[in-house]
Amino acid sequence: MPPAAGALLLCLALSAAAADFGALKPRGYVNDFAGVLRPEAADELNEACARVEKATGVQMALVILPSLEGEPIEDVANLLFRKWGVGQKQNNEGLLLLVSVRDRRTRLEVGYGLEAVIPDGYAGWILREMRPSLRAGDYRGALLAAVESLGARIAEAKGVRIPAAAGSRRPAPPPEAVIPWWLAAAGGLGLLLFISALARAQRAARGRRYYGDMPAAVWLPMFWHDAGFPTRSSGGFGGFDSGDSFGGFGGGDSGGGGASSDW
Amino acid sequence: MKALAILLGVLLLAGLIVGSKAASVNNQLVSQREAVQAAWAQVDVALQRRADLIPNLVETVKGFAAQERAVFEEVARARAALLNARTPGEKIAANQGLDTAIGRLLMVVENYPQLRSNENFLRLQDELAGSENRIAVERRKYNEAVQRYNTTLGLFPNNLFAGVLGFQRIDDYFRTDPGARTAPPVKF
């Protein structure tokens, strides 16, 4: 096997290993897949992120995973960042803060557009500052402090002010409210993805004859790659923006900037 | 006479079909080759970024471990080799040399606990880890772009036109070392 083909197969193997995390869908600014945040804490963090976005245009995704399942945290963070498209497409001003509970690892992934405002050394400092709270099991406190420090630094760089949290907590929406907007959005997105996957599969099936004279070991992975999941298209489901709540991520990209730490 | 006219018509039609197909193949390959070049430019930025960081890092380490001269010299040589490399292939090779040298430098650091708790050094180490991760991400994007281009190039009937139009396979892949990816050298 020529080395180039070996490299190609290796790439495919790596992308397959990370596929599980690629299936995760964003739930809002706060994505607690480990279930360690109380609902009030999640609301509070959501509101803090919404205030940052409203004032500065910067989107933050907070992700808590139960485990990395042996994957490097850098790969998982970059995968989620690019799949979800954190930040607006035109300026890539997004941040993704990933906490893995069982591995006791943290990562702050910085979008292309914020690399000058949040250098890696500062990202590492933010993560080191989170250590005491995380060691005490205070995920809310750790994340809130990180969001506030990051928001303040971005606001300063952009010359804007982030309004303080509303003193009187707004009453939570009644629990018997209709289908939550994000569920409707996720449903719509799922339908869209299903249709586009169908179209892709059809296109790939038409394309298959082009692989005709190659051995199966060569065209099979190529075909599989061609028919694979959309790599960037799942970012950005807009249109549900209601005031200061989560309006969907905007298709931003990241080149792996940021820092990783542990606690 | 009539037969000749039909023959001419058929030839003209065939020429038109082949010509328009060649034009569309050409456009597709040009845009994918542009994408490869753009992806390479991003890799280059990431490589340069790490090379720029190294003098600062070495100075900080020197402040605590001045006697480790052999390692500093090795890092300086590897960095110079990267800065002198021109083609993607040369840069990929030189970058591997720099990986090894930095790995040795960080092993030396392990012996100096005061250094590892120095905030300035911690930040530099974050910057270094960030640079390495950027290289990893950008080279993955570059590999994907190369793979897309080579696949388009090799597909029938594109492969019939590609040679005539002057497109060649790109073989400057990054060989990812799985060990290096799963355990980035810089951890805290």
Picking from A260, A261, A262, A263 by the largest number of B CB atoms within 10 A of its own CB, the best residue to mutate is: A260
Condensed to tens digits (0 to 9), the pLDDT of residues A60-118 reads 999 999 999 989 999 999 999 999 999 999 899 999 999 999 999 999 999 999 999 99
Asked if A8 lies within 8 A of B181 by C-beta distance, the reply is: no
**Is the pLDDT reported for residue B79 higher than 90?**
yes
Residue A251 contacts residue A234 (beta carbons within 8 Å)? no
| Other beta carbons less than 10 A from residue A98's beta carbon | 26
Inter-chain CB proximity B122 and A75 less than 8 Å? no
Q: pLDDT tens digits, residue range B2-39?
A: 889 999 999 999 999 988 888 888 888 899 999 999 99
Share of chain A above pLDDT 90, in %: 50
For residue B155, which residues of chain A lie inside 8 Å, CB to CB? 210
Question: What's the complex ipTM?
Answer: 0.71
Q: What residues in B contact A223, CB-CB < 8 Å? A: none
More confident residue, A85 or A11: A85
pLDDT 10s digits, B149-188 = 999 888 888 888 888 888 888 877 776 554 444 334 443 3
With CB atoms and an 8 Å threshold, state whether B127 touches A210.
no
pLDDT at A168 over 90: no
Per-residue confidence (pLDDT) for residue A225, from 0 to 100 = 44
Partners of A215 on chain B (C-beta within 8 Å) are: none
The more confidently predicted of residues A237 and A106 is A106
Structural tokens at position A53: 């976005």
pLDDT at A152 over 80: yes
State residue A153's pLDDT score.
Answer: 95
Pair B75, B53: CB distance under 8 Å: no
- Higher per-residue confidence, A183 vs B107: B107
Element (H or E) spanning A65, and its range? Answer: strand A59-65
**Helix ranges (DSSP H) in chain B:** 2-64, 69-84, 88-109, 113-116, 119-154, 158-165, 178-182
Mean pLDDT of chain B: 85
Nearest CA in chain A to B185: A72
* Non-local CB neighbours of A227 within 8 Å, separated by 6+ positions: A200, A201, A204
Strands A30-32 and A59-65: parallel
**CA of A179 vs chain B CAs: smallest distance (Å):** 38
Quote the pTM value. 0.68
| Per-residue pLDDT band at A174 (split at 50, 70, 90) | very low
pLDDT at A245: 67
B152: nearest CA partner in chain A? A210
Say yes or no to pLDDT of B90 above 50.
Answer: yes
- Please compute the mean of the pLDDT values over residues A174-194 and round it to a whole number: 65
Are residues A212 and B174, on separate chains, in Cβ contact within 8 Å?
no
